[in-house]
Structure 1
Amino acid sequence: FPFSSAAFLSPPYSCGAGSSHCAGHTQASAHGKHCNKTSRGPTAEVFRKKHNICMVSDFFYPNMGGVESHIYQLSQCLIAMGHKVVIVTHAYGRRKGIRHLTNGLKVYYLPLQVMYNQSTATTCFHSLPLMRCVFVRERITIVHSHSSFSAMAHDALFHAKTLGLNTVFTDHSLFGFADISSVLTNKLLTISLCDTNHIVCVSYTSKENTVLRAALNPEIVSVIPNAVDSADFTPDPSQRQDDKITIVVISRLVYRKGIDLLGGIIPELCLKYPDLHFLIGGEGPKRIVLEEVREKYQLHDRVRLLGALEHKDVRGVLVQGHIFLNTSLTEAFCMAIVEGIQQINTIISYDYITCIFNPYLIPEVLPEDLITLCEPTVRSLCAGLESVISQHRTGAVPSPASIHARVRNLYTWRNVAERTEKVYDRVAGEEVLPLDRRIHRLRTHCGPVAGTIFAFVAVLDFLFLLLLQWLVPDQVMDVAVDASGPHGIWKGEQKDEIDSKRELSREHSL
């Protein structure tokens, strides 16, 4: 197994994204009490059982973003609740092999080739030997994949079903239905989710979008929002400059984050409001668009491009602003909005899929008086910003402290983990479809062409698994030492360390 020795590291916070960030990993690890179990589900024994969970996604640290933060924070809370959690992602440069993060969170950085935008190239077969090795050695019972954009997440779902494991999928993004990219992604999602035990979406709009895209039964789709650690994002109005209005944007500078729209509104608003400034954090290929706008209109003193941000610097940027602007085209929840509203008076965002089936994207996230929604056009965004700017000048906005007090308890990772645990308890008692029923489901649910093709792929995947089990039987594979969970050595080492410190202090007192 091509992994290096385990290295005990804290989470990396080098940020090339900046859109959404990990909030307080040390606080997440402080939660130690178990969740109260309810009577729902197959049996009481299922609820008392602790699960061995494998989180899978192409997107994890040192990459930065909302998916990465969600996986890390959820894993930490699940570990604190007594479950065993490991994470599987692809190698990032020299970061490969097995790494251990806070509280014994084990991360497998698999040596898989990245194809585009940190997503691995998939042939469905090259990842099976590696993932089987992880699933068997770690005695995984539930595979939880994240993000429609992650090829590794789809691979893990496919292989887990072949191995007879229960599966859960969390969708973090919204898609349209018309362009080629959306059509292909939606078909892949339909194939991946047709026999997945349960699906989690981060908003009700995301649920409706996913159910339509993948032709799912709404009863197997749950809504569990993202969260943020409010202790890491507290307001500080003294950091603002009251003689000007500052609009803050923190995002990956890529197309689907709406950077082209941002480049359109900057010159129009700067020409109209001499005291308006833009503070933009993040990095990406669309940075050139903003640099060209700044150069063309000579706005070097009013548009600051901060580049990649480290996690510790995000709050320092947010507290300088009066308005937080989100122009993302695909966000289903947007953690950055919740982070920003706790330190900034007003949020500007928009619903990018109004023209399709008219749900409201962001009103679920915040109360109506704390957010202004716009259409995804330069004209609509300018009108929304002008309205908010006039409110600031007349003092018709609440104070940052009052907003923080309202929002800080709306979304907590502990609540997210408790609700996710109920999903795990539910799927733990469900049946995994055998190969014949799985083939029938693919052919009837995914269309005559795609269904037949992927039914054939499922058969090949099963035959490849039989070959691997003949070459290296499960019984001869070494069982990995648990770093987390009921039998995790991390807790034992921490307990031994605490006991030794108490013994030393007792000796000194004597």
Structure 2
Amino acid sequence: MGQWRRRRRDPPALQGPPSETSGAPSAESQVPGRKHNICMVSDFFYPNMGGVESHIYHLSQCLIERGHKVVIATHAYGRRKGVRYLTNGLKVYYLPLRVMYNQSSFPACVHSLPLLRCVFVRERITVVHAHSSFSCMAHDALFHAKTMGLNTVFTDHSLFGFADLSSVLTNAFLTVSLCDTNHIVCVSYTSKENTVLRAALHPEIVSVIPNAVDAADFTPDPSRRQDGRITVVVASRLVYRKGIDLLAGIIPELCLKHPDLHFLIGGEGPKRRVLEEVREEYQLHDRIHLIGALEHKDVRGVLVQGHIFLNTSLTEAFCMAIVEGASCGLQVVSTRVGGIPEVLPEDLITLCEPTVQSLCAGLETAIARQRSGSVSSPTSIHARVRSLYTWENVAERTEKVYDRVAGEEVLTMHRRLLRLRAHCGPVAGSFFALLAVVDFLFLLFLQWLIPDQLMDAAVDATGPHGLWRPDQVMDAAVDATGPHRLWRPDQVMDAAVDATGTHGLWRPDQVMDSAVDATGPHGLWRPDQVMDAAVDATGPHGLWRPDQVMDAAVDATGPHGLWRPDQVMDAAVDATGPHGLWRPDQVMDAAVDTT
């Protein structure tokens, strides 16, 4: 019970206006150099593909390299259940939670508490980092982590409106979920403003840490481009939010003006039918190529075939796609929405209003630059993007957030209930305060049923005490053949060298060689020890002797025949003779009795 009594200071949102230095955390509130046990929680992770999934994976890998212990909790995907290990010992818990809609699990706080508590206790988690406003599992994890007295961090990857019903409900739920969260991370300054307004947060507890791209996976290859044409590449989900209706209006107009213009579109979604109708109506089958769904490993192979990358999104918090396109050396044309203007320098992107006319004008400008040869080389564009966004920088900045929240106290249950009522209103606040009390009582019951001290601690695969360390495991690409290889030729059997060489581990005098030892003077298979069908079966020492087997030509009809006429039925004699078994008075003879 002592762990639930830790306290933290109220965020400035409830203390009045901050001072001039409130944006910088005090030295006492930070714990630099500390190694954390982190649990990333989200409904969205591999094998599902997307920006959130990629962000969680790459951030986790970089945090592991910096010495932290990282585990991931997500819901089960089909037959992928239980615990799985990924690169560098990254442990993933695929929990048996029911999926409600669009890979988001059902919001059942009571049901998820036993599972998440087991993960948090066994892995000795100190920081719970939840991702995505769309993930119910992420909000459940924040709720339970606060009940258990753990520090919490939330990363928002999306932008929301304020008018439609879906946004109103999501914003209300986000307000409850983030009102007592230690720190929030957004991927752009536009996203920060959006989140602060939606959840009524103080800007001091919200940081901006952008996404990144693994530049080694998105290198340019101009040789893949086809001469005599200009190719525009689109890679996104074919849904309304990605502006596919705008794309459908752009294609016919530009294809009519530029006979050498082709569109290469990768992605899948309900708006695919709109593009197919445009292709049919304007007979553009040879100029519009719909690839369909793309795996992440195949995206680069599509991007390098193009000259221009087009993004028509209606809302984006960051947009990883345009960074990947620029990394492959393409000109980028995009709508000016959300946090996109913050992502790339002005000379690497052409920004347009989300209208067909503006996007057509932007593409016309990019096409003119491409034909005149006034664009930068793909290699130089890749080099600039490579220096702008790296996952190592993202991990370093996220680590500072963990150090900050590690020095903060966690609200007691009493203060947490007061915060919910004060921040969320008398109705919603009272309801979620009651839910927090139920969650706390259920936690006490679980602790009585299975005390924390009786739950076995999991073996650390990563972190400062990790047993699976990079310098102790076999890396097929590096350690197996490099100067510090763990698999050395003098310690293992090499079929090409050690098996037949001077120091071969398989020596002819120790194994049976069918070409030499089987028939040679020292052969292990000797004629006097095996049965030779050509010699021993019929010779004087034959194992198959005529007097021990039945000879059908001799014994069947001879004086010693085993088949004797008086023991078998002879159809020619016994059927009609005095001892015939078939007698005329017992059978019907058609030739006699009928006439």
Asked if Structure 1 and Structure 2 have the same fold, meaning a TM-score greater than 0.5 normalized by the shorter chain, the answer is yes
Alignment correspondent of 2:425? 447
Bigger radius of gyration, 1 or 2? Answer: 2
Task: Note if contact 1:345-1:399 (Cα within 8 Å) is conserved in structure 2.
Answer: no
Alpha-carbon distance in 2 for matches of 1:221, 1:247: 37
- Alpha carbons of 1:395 and 1:96: their partners in 2 closer, same or farther (altered >3 Å)? same
- Alpha carbons of 1:157 and 1:403: their partners in 2 closer, same or farther (altered >3 Å)? same
Deviations 1:278-320 (A, max 9, x none): 1111222322222222222222211111112233322111111
Alpha-carbon distance in 2 for matches of 1:39, 1:163: 25
Task: Note if contact 2:49-2:295 (Cα within 8 Å) is conserved in structure 1.
Answer: no
Letter in 2 for 1:426: R
Alignment correspondent of 1:426? 404
Task: Note if contact 1:173-1:206 (Cα within 8 Å) is conserved in structure 2.
Answer: yes
Deviations 1:134-165 (A, max 9, x none): 11111100000011111111111111111110
Alpha-carbon distance in 1 for matches of 2:362, 2:67: 46
Alignment correspondent of 1:389? 367
Task: Note if contact 2:230-2:261 (Cα within 8 Å) is conserved in structure 1.
Answer: yes
Letter in 2 for 1:422: K
User: Structure 1 residue 54: deviation in Å?
Assistant: 0.2
Deviations 1:448-472 (A, max 9, x none): 2222221111111111211222222
Q: Does residue 195 of structure 1 match 2:180?
A: yes
Unaligned runs of 5+ in 1: 1-37, 354-360
Alignment correspondent of 1:415? 393
Letter in 2 for 1:192: S
Alignment correspondent of 1:210? 195
Alpha-carbon distance in 2 for matches of 1:449, 1:86: 36
Alignment correspondent of 2:260? 275
Task: Note if contact 1:42-1:426 (Cα within 8 Å) is conserved in structure 2.
Answer: no
Q: Does residue 97 of structure 1 match 2:97?
A: no
Task: Note if contact 1:345-1:398 (Cα within 8 Å) is conserved in structure 2.
Answer: no
- Alpha carbons of 1:130 and 1:206: their partners in 2 closer, same or farther (altered >3 Å)? same
Q: Does residue 470 of structure 1 match 2:448?
A: yes
Unaligned runs of 5+ in 2: 1-23, 493-497, 504-595
Q: Which of 419-428 and 487-496 deviates more?
A: 487-496
Give runs of aligned pairs for residues 219-368 of structure 1, distance below 5 A.
Answer: 219-352=204-337, 361-368=339-346
User: Structure 1 residue 487: deviation in Å?
Assistant: 1.3
Task: Note if contact 1:54-1:142 (Cα within 8 Å) is conserved in structure 2.
Answer: yes
Letter in 1 for 2:395: A
Task: Note if contact 2:88-2:470 (Cα within 8 Å) is conserved in structure 1.
Answer: no
Alpha-carbon distance in 2 for matches of 1:193, 1:118: 22
Alignment correspondent of 1:460? 438
Alpha-carbon distance in 2 for matches of 1:451, 1:463: 18
> Per the alignment, in what secondary structure is the counterpart of residue 78 of structure 1?
helix
User: Structure 1 residue 493: deviation in Å?
Assistant: 7.9
Alpha-carbon distance in 1 for matches of 2:27, 2:217: 36
Q: Which of 200-209 and 237-246 deviates more?
A: 237-246
User: Structure 1 residue 495: deviation in Å?
Assistant: 5.4
Alpha-carbon distance in 2 for matches of 1:297, 1:368: 34
Alignment correspondent of 1:377? 355
- Alpha carbons of 1:137 and 1:330: their partners in 2 closer, same or farther (altered >3 Å)? farther
User: Structure 1 residue 39: deviation in Å?
Assistant: 11
Alignment correspondent of 1:129? 114
TM-score by length of 2: 0.74
Alignment correspondent of 1:494? 472
Alpha-carbon distance in 2 for matches of 1:496, 1:232: 23
Q: Does residue 405 of structure 1 match 2:391?
A: no
Give me the CA root mean square deviation: 2.3
TM-score by length of 1: 0.86
User: Structure 1 residue 78: deviation in Å?
Assistant: 0.5
Task: Note if contact 2:29-2:408 (Cα within 8 Å) is conserved in structure 1.
Answer: no
Deviations 1:87-132 (A, max 9, x none): 0111111111110000000001111111111111112221111111
Task: Note if contact 1:324-1:344 (Cα within 8 Å) is conserved in structure 2.
Answer: no
Alpha-carbon distance in 2 for matches of 1:69, 1:440: 37
Task: Note if contact 1:57-1:145 (Cα within 8 Å) is conserved in structure 2.
Answer: yes
Alpha-carbon distance in 2 for matches of 1:504, 1:234: 34
- Alpha carbons of 1:125 and 1:255: their partners in 2 closer, same or farther (altered >3 Å)? farther
**Which of 133, 139, 142 is the matching residue for 1:157?**
142
Larger relative contact order (CA 8 Å, sep ≥ 6): 1
Alpha-carbon distance in 2 for matches of 1:503, 1:213: 56
Q: Which of 373-382 and 71-80 deviates more?
A: 373-382
Structure with the bigger percentage of helix: 1
Alignment correspondent of 2:28? 42
Alpha-carbon distance in 2 for matches of 1:484, 1:369: 42
> Per the alignment, in what secondary structure is the counterpart of residue 48 of structure 1?
coil
- Alpha carbons of 1:190 and 1:351: their partners in 2 closer, same or farther (altered >3 Å)? farther
Alpha-carbon distance in 1 for matches of 2:100, 2:247: 28
Alignment correspondent of 1:15? none
- Alpha carbons of 1:41 and 1:262: their partners in 2 closer, same or farther (altered >3 Å)? farther
Letter in 1 for 2:452: D
Give runs of aligned pairs for residues 175-186 of structure 1, distance below 5 A.
Answer: 175-186=160-171
- Alpha carbons of 1:443 and 1:175: their partners in 2 closer, same or farther (altered >3 Å)? same
Alpha-carbon distance in 2 for matches of 1:254, 1:444: 39
> Per the alignment, in what secondary structure is the counterpart of residue 74 of structure 2?
strand
Task: Note if contact 2:175-2:198 (Cα within 8 Å) is conserved in structure 1.
Answer: yes
Alpha-carbon distance in 1 for matches of 2:39, 2:448: 24
Alpha-carbon distance in 1 for matches of 2:403, 2:413: 24
User: Structure 1 residue 244: deviation in Å?
Assistant: 1.4
Give runs of aligned pairs for residues 61-100 of structure 1, distance below 5 A.
Answer: 61-100=46-85
> Per the alignment, in what secondary structure is the counterpart of residue 94 of structure 2?
strand
Task: Note if contact 2:156-2:186 (Cα within 8 Å) is conserved in structure 1.
Answer: yes
> Per the alignment, in what secondary structure is the counterpart of residue 45 of structure 2?
coil
- Alpha carbons of 1:307 and 1:495: their partners in 2 closer, same or farther (altered >3 Å)? closer
> What is the identity percentage for the equivalent residue pairs of Structure 1 and Structure 2?
77
User: Structure 1 residue 273: deviation in Å?
Assistant: 2.2
Alpha-carbon distance in 2 for matches of 1:290, 1:77: 40
Alignment correspondent of 2:416? 438
User: Structure 1 residue 61: deviation in Å?
Assistant: 0.5
User: Structure 1 residue 52: deviation in Å?
Assistant: 0.4
User: Structure 1 residue 385: deviation in Å?
Assistant: 1.6
Alpha-carbon distance in 1 for matches of 2:312, 2:447: 49
